[in-house]
Chains A and B, each alone.
Chain A
């Protein structure tokens, strides 16, 4: 076991997959000689060369569109979108092309590719370096949407994503890139895309979260445990397809559900989790389902107090848990 940061785990996953499969290549802005603006690809350019770590023109739609073409030919692109805020020019290629290719060609063509994109706020990034657009992708059949919350999962899930025969959108909690550390075993392992994970067992309240908010949810659970509230934390990990079984089983145990994400409340991923619970565990509920999310404003504001107002954090999560526990 080695302790490493989230971003080190991501880099290691790419390195190992590139060593394993010569068809794997990286394409994106500044991924080459610079090693990425977050340094996710550092060292890979020197190791694998300019042909496999490609500095693209500054144009997101063709990073994805060209990646799709290469995937159709049998390559395995890992496309990096520098910030998830900049993914929208590529939205047409992702939604109209990558997601629909297999279905629309009756399986004649598939698009095995990974699109990595750092997401999330709390880093002073303002409206355009802080976004969490996962809900816009986690409702699109044909895509898989993955968000890791710790180095072990980041490495194992990214390796699974590279080996997956479908387009996988891999959102990385950038605030946690160096903040979140954890043990990662030596040697080969993968984490399957699909199942959520119960990261802390509890009996009073279920908290559903992913990425950075999962990290905070664990801190909040620890905090309220001292007050006698037993919290079960579920790391959703794969947002699409949805692991309804794990969600429902947890609510059946606790009878109370809190969903946390930093993306906007309305139409956010939490709405799907809440609907899942309403449909499948209504009679198990002892309290209304509660969502703690980013407010419905167009983006995370830059100025510190405004950013703090926007972002969920361990304190806000703890308060929401206490309210639910008291209900």
Chain B
């Protein structure tokens, strides 16, 4: 369970790649090259920490729309992401049917999700119920924003998992805002993990800007789930550095000073300086990573720009499973 030096460096790399990809999406939007972007900037540490605690490819994930870094850890490629940003053919989440960042990656057991929030939590409970019925050694990670834990869907899912002692990890990425509404208008508890005790399961709060702490907590929850001891709610605390989406203007509801203050504690910077201080990374190595990320992002943009759009005929199917085309 102890992370190796290589793993810790790999985790930083995943955070960095997701960040640079996310930043490029904003640029593409400002250039008028894509219609929409919803960002995960500031949330990469928790996502990468959680992903590394899973048996990736075996365990299942029902994600939510800010999980770019999580998806990258599951093998979603930069090319695939930019295809989805541009609504191009071959985009694996939906073939250009869904808006960007509405993930699905069958080959990684990452389930398709929608835009009405919290629906994926029930799916996680159902998947875990099926795992339990089939006596599989797997767990489900489901992620959500803190605002969406206000939905009845989330409570019902957590309750189900608690009643049936299902192998689910409910990870709440508390980025402190649901579009414009701050946490104190969502809940009267200090952490959404506190809601867990009312439903009879363990709830933990962790610093979501520290990928290694998140890893530890999620790995423990996964081990507990695998040994038949049921679900855990984990709140990872972080800050949404960008506006809600490319259509939002966060100046209408929070001060620039507040955002600046959090930018100083940007997990990308913090983890980097920590790894440098511990002698795991040199500035040159970091520069090498940056160059590699730039290259991959450039390649992805070029690839997706040249890729064709779906044929209009593709919009007609597959409404039913009988119409699925395997090509």
Chain A residues close to B by CB (< 8 Å)? 25, 51-52, 56-57, 59, 61-62, 64-75, 77, 89, 92-93, 96-97, 100-110, 112, 141-142, 144, 165-166
Contacts and interface: CB of A to CB of B under 8 A. Distances in A.
B114 A57 contact: no
6 contacts: A52-B133, A72-B126, A73-B60, A106-B94, A108-B104, A142-B320
B129 A70 contact: yes
Contact of B119 (A51, A97, A105): A97
Contacts, number: 140
Contacts of A69: 62, 122-130
B112 A105 contact: yes
A165 B324 CA distance: 11
B98 interface: yes
Nearest to B142: A69
Contact of A25 (B95, B133, B324, B326): B133
Contacts of A108: 92, 104, 106, 112
B130 A104 contact: no
A104 B112 contact: yes
A232 to B, nearest CB: 30
B94 A61 contact: no
Q: For the complex of A and B, list the 8 residue pairs with the smallest distance between their C-beta atoms, beginning with the closest.
A: A69-B126, A65-B122, A107-B324, A106-B95, A165-B321, A73-B130, A62-B156, A69-B123
Contacts of A141: 319
Contacts of B194: none
A68 B122 contact: yes
Contact of B123 (A25, A72, A107, A166): A72
Interface stretch (B22-30, B157-165, B224-232, B235-243): B157-165
B97 A65 contact: no
B17 interface: no
Nearest to A60: B156
A269 B125 CA distance: 35
Given A105-B94, A108-B92, A61 B318 contact: no
Interface string B69-108: 0000000000000000000000011110110001010100
B106, B129, B153 — most chain A CB neighbours (10 Å): B129
Nearest to B310: A106
B111 interface: yes
B325 interface: yes
Given A70-B129, A97-B114, A65 B123 contact: yes
A109 B127 contact: no
Contacts of A142: 319-320
Given A62-B125, A65-B125, A102-B324, A51 B94 contact: no
Given A92-B119, A97-B119, A65 B133 contact: no
Given A65-B156, A110-B321, 7 more contacts: A62-B153, A65-B121, A93-B119, A96-B116, A104-B114, A107-B321, A109-B104
Contacts of B112: 101, 104-105, 108-109
A139 to B, nearest CB: 13
A57 B156 contact: yes
B278 interface: no
A70 B132 CA distance: 10
Given A103-B318, A104-B114, A142-B320, A68 B92 contact: no
A104 B320 CA distance: 11
B35 interface: no
Contact of B127 (A73, A100, A104, A110): A73
B4 to A, nearest CB: 32
A176 B75 CA distance: 53
B57 interface: no
A102 B319 contact: yes
B126 A70 contact: yes
A55 to B, nearest CB: 10
A68 B122 CA distance: 8
Given A57-B163, A61-B153, A66-B122, A102 B127 contact: no
Given A110-B321, A165-B322, A166-B321, A59 B126 contact: no
B320 A102 contact: yes
A92 B116 contact: yes
Contact of A104 (B94, B106, B123, B126): B94
B289 interface: no
B218 to A, nearest CB: 20
A273 B142 CA distance: 43
